[in-house]
Structure 1
Amino acid sequence: MKQHTPNGRRYLGATSLNTDEIYINIKQNKPESLRLLAAMRVLYSEAKFLRSMRVMVTVMLPIISLLCLKYFPGFKEELAFIAGIWLIVNRVFLVEKEKRLVKEAATIQENFDTNVFQLPWNTLLVGEKISLERILDLNGKSQEKEEKLIDWYPGLTSTHHILNVLLAQKTNLHWDIEQRKIYKNILQWVLIIYVVIVIAIGFLLNLPTQTMIISFLVPSLPLILHLIEIINSHKQRYESLARVFPKVTSDIENYSSFNDLDYDIRSYQDIVFLKRCDANMVPDKLYWLKRNVFEKISKESNQNHSKNQNTSDS
């Protein structure tokens, strides 16, 4: 049953709140919320570590192939066989493990969001919540500093809870779109440079076509496929989110406490969750490199939208 609360707070499962408080700002910094964020970060870190290991092996295979070509030319068929086995193990087993870690992390982050946004849990889409025992176990592995988890959604100062939810969802979309654009462009240049290097090595060593294919291209195939797959995945993801972003922005700019936006914010949350389940993640180094910039932009943007709405209420 929908409940209607003061100051535009109209949402599912609402509880009575002090209208002078910004609910999300209080709720997101409570111990149980920080515990969810810490557990989520542990799982994402594990998934990214596994991905790094997969990429490292994939990159090393062509290098080993070159060394064998020079010092152990008789080993080229065996190396091609090893590369084929690695391709199967990598894509069938390790990739699936990585996907499970990401899905669990996304489920925990969904738990955090639905708690602070006061949204109903979508069991059909997300599945069951991760158990408290599992959360506590992950917290035992966490080395995350608490100050990095506080104020997860910055700049929320509106007296309207629904507007704050929309602003937080817009923040999620903005961060994801911009980080993936940057990472996709980096990977495109890496792929281009790598292909140029492969061709150059072939000419420099004056390799026969068959030798070039067996000794270098076959071991390089997992890396080339990996790069193409990731580039396409990031491009598709930020393009799909970019189609949603204007609608969220429009809802914020045209916000009115008389509009029923419960269905919209639940739909936006479903989109955010599905995109979080994508195992193609942005590396932590890029995240931390750009975090301060994105956080500053999000904070100022959210404060500006909140100020405009608060002024119009006066």
Structure 2
Amino acid sequence: MSEPPPLFTKADITPAQLTALKAMSISHQRVRILSGIRIALSSIIAVSGAVVTVTALQATWVTIAGTLWAAIYSIGLASWVDGELLRAAKLQEKFEVELFRLPWNTVVAGRPVRMEDASRLSNGFKSRRIAEDWDEMPKLPRPFDVLARQIQNLGWGSRIRRRYANVVLFFVSTWTALGVVIGASLSLTVTDIVVRWFIPSLGGLLLGLDTFRQQRAVASDRERVCVHAEDEAINAATQPYKAVDHDRLLILARQVQDTLFSTRCRAPRAPSRIFYLPYYSSDSIDFKAPVQRIAEALPSAPTD
């Protein structure tokens, strides 16, 4: 028995697209560094508060440090991360609209990142290769290939973000419960528990709650659009190929791309080594399934 034809094919990537991908990787790397600094400082101050609580040492300096860090996080670092996220999202948008042959939506995304800025950023890219699957496109006729790839992006991204959000919620809940249990076991007053445990860890708790809220909201939006886009694509695929309203599907693809862009601006990526790479094999199988469903719904037609 002959093997089924491959579901994906490699797209031709232009030098400008490769530059955008490399620059995007650097922007996301900066976001990860900033996020790592936030987590490290929050953890140090929170652990200091825990030590002070257990040992009954003077808590004033830890309380002040926790309060200042919460203020710095709320006012400064969050805005810095947001700005870097926006640039990374624009660079990825630049790559994808060229890959998908879609128009740039200035109303949603603003002006693209200037090529000279992207080139400068890309010079910092030292890895030998870009992440897996960036240049793969489903072997389907246009515009079903675009929609299938977008549906895969939406679904896969939402799963990773929910995975991340659930772990963050677990740590926030565990830390909160631990503070209450330790405070009760040491017969501390509510004020002492708040001053010694929760104020020092306030920056970390705010970071955790913000991360959970943002990632869950982004995942929900992606899942909603993913379901709608797949339903529309499969409904259109079941029609005779010449009767399909291709313009309407391309408008839908542009709207789906707007969702991808807006969600990328709202929350940093989950750490890939923890939430993406260990699950890659199983996730890859799961999110090739919607592409396969669209392919099976299509009548035999030449790919574009």
TM-score for both structures, normalised by structure 1: 0.83
CA displacement 1:95-146 (0-9 Å, x = unmatched): 1110011100000000011101111111121111111222222221113332
Work out whether residues 156 and 303 of structure 1, in 8 Å CA contact, stay in contact via their aligned partners in 2: no
Conserved? CA contact 2:150–2:257, under 8 Å: yes
Q: Distance in 2 between matches of 1:276 and 1:206?
A: 46
Partner residue of 1:269 out of 253, 257, 271: 257
Q: What are structure 2's unaligned runs of at least 5 residues?
A: 1-6
Q: How does 1:248-263 map to 2 (within 5 A)?
A: 248-255=229-236, 256-257=241-242, 258-259=244-245, 260=247, 261-263=249-251
Separation (CA, whole Å) in 2 of partners of 1:45 and 1:291:
20
Query: What is the aligned partner in structure 1 of residue 281 from structure 2?
Result: 292
Question: 2:178 matched to 1:178?
Answer: no
1:61 aligns with 45
Unmatched runs of 5 consecutive residues or more in structure 1: 1-21
| In 2: Cα distance, 1:265 partner to 1:132 partner | 25
Structure 2: how far apart are the matches of 1:32 and 1:200? 56
User: Deviation at 1:293?
Assistant: 2.9
Pair 302,68 (structure 1): closer, same or farther in 2 beyond 3 Å: same
Conserved 8 A contact 1:187-1:231: yes
Aligned in 2, Cα 1:136/1:292: closer, same or farther, shift over 3 Å? farther
Equivalent residue letter for 2:79: E
Superposition deviation, residue 253 in structure 1: 1.0
State the percentage of identical aligned residues. 20
Amino acid at match of 2:29: S
Instruction: Specify whether residues 134 and 313 from structure 1 end up closer, same or farther in structure 2 by C-alpha distance, changes over 3 A only.
Output: closer
The SS at the match of 1:219 is coil
Deviation at 1:43, TM superposition (A): 0.7
Q: Which residue of 2 aligns with 1:4?
A: none
* Secondary structure in structure 2 of the residue aligned to 1:277: helix
**CA distance in 2: counterparts of 1:300 and 1:143, whole angstroms:** 34
Matched letter for residue 130 of structure 1:
V
* TM-aligned CA deviation for residue 307 of structure 1: 5.2
- CA root-mean-square deviation: 2.5
**Paired residue type of 1:33:** Q
CA contact (8 A) 2:157 2:219 kept: yes
1:106-117 maps to which residues of 2 (within 5 A)? 106-117=89-100
CA contact (8 A) 2:42 2:203 kept: yes
**Contact persistence 2:27–2:85 (CA under 8 A):** yes
Note the alpha carbon deviations across 1:17-54, whole angstroms, 9 max, x for none.
xxxxx998423x33332222121111112101211110
Equivalent residue letter for 2:121: L
Give structure 1 regions of 4+ aligned residues with deviation exceeding 6 angstroms: none
- Separation in 2 of the partners of 1:276 and 1:165? 18
The one-letter code sitting in structure 1 at the alignment partner of 2:181 is A
Residue identity in the other structure for 1:164: D
Report the Cα distance in structure 2 between the residues aligned to 1:185 and 1:289, rounded to whole angstroms: 16
CA displacement at 1:170 relative to structure 2: 0.4
The residue type equivalent to 1:278 in the other structure is R
Q: How many residues align?
A: 289
Amino acid aligned to 1:133: E
Asked if 2 retains the 8 angstrom alpha-carbon contact of 1:107 and 1:126, the reply is: yes
Q: Which residue of 2 aligns with 1:139?
A: 122
Tell me the secondary structure at the aligned position of residue 11 of structure 2: helix
Contact 1:83 1:218 in 2 (8 A): yes
Q: Does 1:168 align with 2:136?
A: no
**Deviation, structure 1 residue 241:** 1.9
Q: CA deviation at 1:242?
A: 1.8
Cα shift readout 1:208-253 (whole Å, capped 9, x = no counterpart): 3332221112112222222222222222222222221122101221
Q: 1:164 deviation in Å?
A: 0.5
Give yes or no for contact 1:184–1:234 (8 Å, CA) kept in 2: yes
1:45 aligns with 2:29: yes
Residue 26 in structure 1 maps to residue 11 in structure 2 = yes
Tell me the equivalent position of 1:215: 196
Q: Give, in whole Å, the separation in 2 of the partners of 1:61 and 1:215.
A: 11
Structure 1 residues 165-244: aligned runs within 5 Å: 165-244=146-225
CA contact (8 A) 2:53 2:196 kept: yes
